[in-house]
Amino acid sequence: MTKRFYINIIFIFIFTFLCHGLAEAGHRIVAVQSVRIKPYEKTIEGFKSVTVSEIKRIVISELNDANIIKTINSFKPDIVLAIGMGALQVVKEIKDIPIIYTMVLNPTSIISGEKNIFGVSMSIPPEKQLNLLLNAMPHVKNIGLLYDPDRTGYIVKDAMIAAGKMNINLIAKEVQNSRDVPSELLGMRKNIDVFWMLPDLTLITPATIEFLLLFSLENKIPVLAFSDKYVELGALMSISIDPFDIGRQAGEMANAIVSGRDLENIKKVDARKSLISINTNVARKLEIDISNNIIEKASIIK
């Protein structure tokens, strides 16, 4: 046996002991989610992959109108993990326990300056999305989008700044009723190379999605979406979050808190990892060549 072998054995023993000690130290985390859906389950898996704390799960839809806050407090947790907007809306009333949120698109619409709430939003910075889009289609100069300022105005504000830095002409039109989507789309069709579909609940309806995808094919204007389900329906490309990695980010944040790091140094962050999906059939119909470096990174939908 070499000296290095024994050193490695000792290192593994010490690491295992420390992890076991942390778990035995009594750190408890209550994970609250509104319902059991696949993205939330992936988030929990990612969270568990990086933390050894004891985790108790609460699914709000399964508690039959129980007092959620009272249930949480009965476990005397060191941290509350809120998965999704509904969970964050419930647990934000807690003021004396650190709260970490995940899978929340616009957390600032729910919280405002609470010193015990931290987390990972579902937002992928617009600058990162635009960079990925340009890597896929370098010819793009003019991008159109529609938005309700009350829902996604904060995204558009950052997108305008990012587009300006990249010499992209971003044509953004305010729309406050889904019935106006068709006329606004038709009004910009001669001026845009790509339509950027935002996660705006005011504008996303079955009727507007159907119109948008037909508009895309008829006018050979590709759609950049935020979820691969729209790529399956006919959008050219999507840039979406990775729920498992968002869970990992939240777990790393929890580890920092239980290790004693000053809460003032815990930062609220955006999703760090993005998933790309491309519909190659749509690309052929639109006569668009996607660069190989993006194809290699993407999930291909045919």
Interval 181-186 mean pLDDT: 97
Say how far apart CA 228 and CA 88 lie, in whole Å. Answer: 25
Q: Residue 137's pLDDT is what?
A: 94
The separation between CA 137 and the C-alpha centre of its own chain, rounded to angstroms, equals 23
Mean pLDDT of 208-234: 97
Q: Tokens in use for 182? A: 């068709």
pLDDT digits (tens, 9 = 90+) for 4-33: 555 555 454 444 444 444 444 558 999 999
CATH number for region 126-241+275-301? 3.40.50.2300
In the chain, list all ranges with CATH 3.40.50.2300: 3-121+243-272, 126-241+275-301
Is the pLDDT higher at 274 or at 8? 274
pLDDT one-digit tens code per residue, 28-62: 999 999 899 999 999 999 999 999 888 999 999 88
- Angle, helices 38-48/243-258, rounded to nearest 10 degrees: 40
Average pLDDT on 205-226 reads 97
- pLDDT attached to residue 24: 40
Tokens of 162: 């990012």
107-144 per-position pLDDT tens digit? 888 888 888 999 999 989 999 999 999 999 999 999 99
Reported as type and span, the H/E element at residue 293 is helix 292-295
Coil, strand, or helix at residue 29?
A: strand
In three-state secondary structure terms, 268 is coil
- As a whole number of angstroms, the distance between CA 247 and CA 230 comes to 24
**CATH code for the part of the protein at 3-121+243-272:** 3.40.50.2300
* β-sheet with 99-104: strand ranges across: 54-59, 28-33, 79-83, 99-104, 117-121
Task: Give mean pLDDT, residues 73-95.
Answer: 94
